């Protein structure tokens, strides 16, 4: 593990959909399909996974494109008439293709797309572009039989981009979010019992997937079937399988355990036809490498000969009835989503917080919806102005609009507060993300001060002077400061023990901490002495009073002269008289 930890933490994570998306749901307790045993035994009888083993393909690349990346125009392949339409974006659409982009299995943009899948996967912001059978065409063109554009900030419905519609993957799935890469695996290895947090794409030979006399099937979350030609009792396109709970995961290396735990918690989804079961991202663009993690193509059938990962180690989950494939794609209407946002409240006056309501694509007709606010910890009237619009619109040809909410500033020290913006009743669109949180960030800092302390020194040993560092009100975040003693008439070493701390913290919700200084007792008669304690470098609060005085009270009596019998003064020790009392002697 020391070798792994030596790498810089510049991880390249795969694109992800919102947390509630079907791919990100924990299915460890999901219901098993009533015919699971039959489907698995039929698959096993047909040969199980391709080549009879769970092998990994590392040929996919996922490239991140900057906002100013050059673009290429889609050219229908093999011909415009054979391009998958209306399933995919229209011929003539453009996609960003940065100079370092590489098609599946290649180092550049040339690919034998007459025979190979030749996927090109590019992420730009919240857009995911996935091209199938891609190949460079001239200086600015890109051959493809499909370009699927996915919006990563939307939660797609059960039929993805439309029922009976394909994508760059035969099941109508996105590809990149269902891969796994070396940086994700490494990150999961740092936790306890870590996993990838999303389902994993897998494929099977078409001759092992369910069909019946030419009829082809798929199940959710798929929206399409490729060309299955196997026994009807086998698994259909889109099937979600879960690794059995009692599989001996512990026998595998730590990196492989991450993937196996993911199969137990999020499952694997049947996405396409082919022989190499699992698809991982190459390590072309990642910080960590597969070799470094000890993962190779055959780890799941060779690393633990006594427990290889086989088809019979899985169950099929119940994700709904089989759907007969007609290949008549009906694209879904645009989706609506509202995005959360935040603002610092300010000390006075009003601010406007704009919520962006987006459509997954522009529409030829206006999209309308209702939008309104709802109280949370923030209350309308005192914290913000309630707002509601019936029939808010996104204009034809546009893909977004804004919904304004006015926020009131104040000087009250309080926790961060929030309210909700809701969408309802869409027309010419479907709902994807209907709720978003508006967060009002409190920017009123509490004041911090330190209180004087005094102590009677004692004749010996150590006495503690306790200084209270206090806030005027609890803070929603940590407050940090430095604190240290400095000499006055009292001297460090002889009168007290010098002390200092950096980065001392007042935890959120608390109002004070203590700073203790050890005072050394002695029997020397002396006046009250003082030292200072200073607070500096405060973060998370304003400094009101940064200096406190520590007073060390003397309890050693002054010397007293008493007239002896012989008329000479006699020294008495321990006479505790006020300095101005008769007979007291000032020294």
Q: What is the 3-state secondary structure (H, E, C) of 268-326?
A: EEEEEECCCCEEEECCCCCCCCHHHHCCCCCHHHHCCCCCCCCHHHEEEECCCCCEECC
> Is 269:238 a contact under the CB 8 Å cutoff?
yes
What's the pLDDT at 345? Answer: 81
CA distance 435 to 456: 62
Give pLDDT tens digits for 290-342: 999 999 999 999 999 999 999 999 999 999 999 999 999 999 999 999 999 99
User: Is the sign of the CA dihedral 163, 165, 171, 176 positive or negative?
Assistant: negative
- For 230-240, b/e burial (b = at least 16 CB within 10 A) is bbeebbbbbbb
- The pLDDT confidence band at residue 557, using thresholds 50, 70 and 90, is low
Six-digit token string for 75: 């050219």
CA distance 156 to 223: 12
What's the pLDDT at 556? Answer: 61
What's the pLDDT at 424? Answer: 98
CA distance 167 to 158: 14
Residue 240: HSE in the Cβ half-sphere, 13 Å Cα cutoff: 31
Q: What is the DSSP letter of 583?
A: T
- Work out the percent of the chain whose per-residue pLDDT is above 90: 83
Walk me through the domains of the chain, giving residue ranges and CATH numbers.
16-324 (no CATH), 335-441 (2.60.40.2030), 447-553 (2.60.40.2030)
- The pLDDT confidence band at residue 177, using thresholds 50, 70 and 90, is very high
Mean pLDDT of the chain: 91
- The pLDDT confidence band at residue 3, using thresholds 50, 70 and 90, is very low
CA distance 407 to 350: 5
pLDDT of 164 higher than 90: yes
pLDDT, mean of residues 474-481: 88
User: Is the sign of the CA dihedral 160, 166, 170, 176 positive or negative?
Assistant: negative
First to last CA, the chain: 70
Six-digit token string for 486: 């400095």
Six-digit token string for 467: 């200084």
Question: From residue 162, how far is each of 167, 238, 330, 485 by CA, in Å?
Answer: 10, 14, 6, 70
Give pLDDT tens digits for 429-457: 999 999 999 999 877 788 999 999 999 98
Six-digit token string for 229: 């030609």
pLDDT, mean of residues 193-209: 98
pLDDT of 10 higher than 60: no
Give pLDDT tens digits for 489-500: 999 999 999 999
User: Which of helix, strand or coil describes residue 560?
Assistant: strand
Residue 578: HSE in the Cβ half-sphere, 13 Å Cα cutoff: 3
pLDDT, mean of residues 180-209: 97
Kindly report whether the peptide bond that precedes residue 86 is cis, defined as omega within 30 degrees of 0. Answer: yes
What's the pLDDT at 319? Answer: 98
- By the 10 Å C-beta count (0-12 exposed, 13-18 middle, 19+ buried), 494 is classed as exposed
- For 17-39, b/e burial (b = at least 16 CB within 10 A) is beeebbbbbebeeeeebeebeeb
pLDDT of 287 higher than 50: yes
pTM above 0.95, yes or no: no
Give pLDDT tens digits for 69-82: 999 999 999 999 99
pLDDT of 162 higher than 50: yes
Six-digit token string for 573: 């020790």
pLDDT of 464 higher than 50: yes
pLDDT of 410 higher than 90: no
- The pLDDT confidence band at residue 344, using thresholds 50, 70 and 90, is confident
User: What are the counts of helices (DSSP H) followed by strands (DSSP E) for the chain?
Assistant: 6, 39
pLDDT, mean of residues 518-542: 91
CA distance 21 to 17: 6
User: Which of helix, strand or coil describes residue 433?
Assistant: strand
Distance of CA 6 to the CA centre of its chain: 23
pLDDT, mean of residues 22-32: 98
Question: From residue 345, how far is each of 303, 437, 443, 448 by CA, in Å?
Answer: 57, 15, 6, 21
């Amino acid at each position: 593990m020391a070798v792994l930890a030596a790498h810089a933490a510049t991880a390249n994570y795969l694109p992800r959909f919102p947390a509630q998306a079907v791919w990100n749901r924990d299915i460890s307790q999901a219901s098993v399909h009533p015919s699971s045993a039959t489907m698995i035994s039929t698959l096993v009888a047909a040969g199980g996974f391709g080549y009879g083993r769970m092998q990994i393909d590392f040929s996919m690349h996922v490239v991140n494109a900057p906002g100013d990346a050059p673009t290429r125009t889609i050219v229908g392949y093999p011909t415009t008439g054979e391009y998958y339409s209306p399933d995919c974006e229209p011929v003539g659409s453009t996609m960003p293709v940065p100079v370092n982009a590489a098609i599946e299995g290649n180092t550049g943009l040339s690919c034998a797309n007459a025979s190979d899948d030749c996927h090109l996967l590019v992420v730009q912001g919240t857009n995911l572009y996935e091209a199938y059978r891609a190949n460079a065409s001239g200086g600015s063109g890109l051959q493809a039989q499909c370009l699927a554009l996915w919006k990563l900030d939307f939660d797609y419905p059960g039929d993805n981009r439309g029922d009976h519609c394909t994508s760059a993957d035969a099941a109508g799935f996105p590809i990149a979010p269902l891969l796994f890469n070396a940086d994700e695996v490494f990150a999961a290895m740092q936790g306890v019992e870590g996993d990838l947090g999303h389902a994993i794409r897998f494929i099977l030979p078409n001759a092992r997937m369910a069909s019946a006399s030419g009829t082809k099937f798929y199940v959710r979350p798929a929206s399409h079937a490729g060309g299955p030609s196997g026994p009807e009792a086998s698994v259909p396109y889109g099937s979600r399988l879960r690794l059995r709970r009692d599989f001996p995961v512990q026998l595998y290396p730590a990196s492989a355990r991450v993937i196996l735990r993911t199969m137990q918690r999020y499952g694997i989804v049947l996405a396409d036809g082919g022989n190499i079961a699992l698809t991982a991202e190459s390590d072309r663009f990642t910080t960590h490498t597969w070799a470094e993690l000890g993962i190779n193509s055959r780890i799941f059938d060779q690393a633990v000969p006594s427990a290889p990962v086989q088809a019979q180690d899985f169950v099929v989950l119940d994700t709904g009835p089989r759907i007969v494939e007609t290949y008549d794609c009906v694209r879904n209407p645009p989706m609506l989503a509202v995005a959360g946002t935040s603002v610092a409240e300010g000390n006075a006056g009003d601010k406007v917080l704009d919520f962006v309501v987006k459509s997954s694509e522009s529409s030829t007709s206006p999209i309308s919806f209702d939008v309104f606010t709802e109280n949370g910890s923030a209350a309308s009237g005192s914290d913000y102005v309630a707002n509601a619009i019936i029939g808010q619109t996104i204009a034809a040809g546009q893909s977004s609009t804004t919904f304004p909410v006015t926020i009131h500033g104040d000087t009250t020290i309080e926790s961060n507060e929030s309210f909700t913006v809701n969408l309802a009743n869409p027309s010419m669109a479907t709902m994807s993300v209907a709720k978003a949180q508006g967060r009002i960030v409190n920017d009123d800092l509490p004041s911090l001060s330190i209180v004087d302390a005094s102590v009677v020194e004692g004749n010996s040993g150590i006495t503690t002077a306790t200084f209270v560092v206090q806030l005027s009100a609890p803070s929603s975040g940590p407050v940090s400061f430095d604190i240290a003693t400095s000499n006055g008439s009292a001297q460090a070493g002889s009168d007290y023990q010098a002390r200092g701390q950096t980065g001392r913290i007042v935890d959120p919700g608390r109002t004070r901490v203590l700073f203790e200084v050890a005072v050394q007792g002695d029997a020397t008669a002396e006046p009250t002495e003082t030292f200072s304690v200073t607070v500096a470098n405060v973060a998370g609060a304003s400094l009101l009073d940064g200096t406190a005085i520590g007073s060390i009270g003397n309890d050693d009596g002054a010397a007293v002269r008493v007239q002896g019998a012989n008329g000479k003064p006699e020294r008495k020790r321990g006479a505790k008289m006020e300095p101005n009392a008769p007979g007291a002697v000032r020294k």
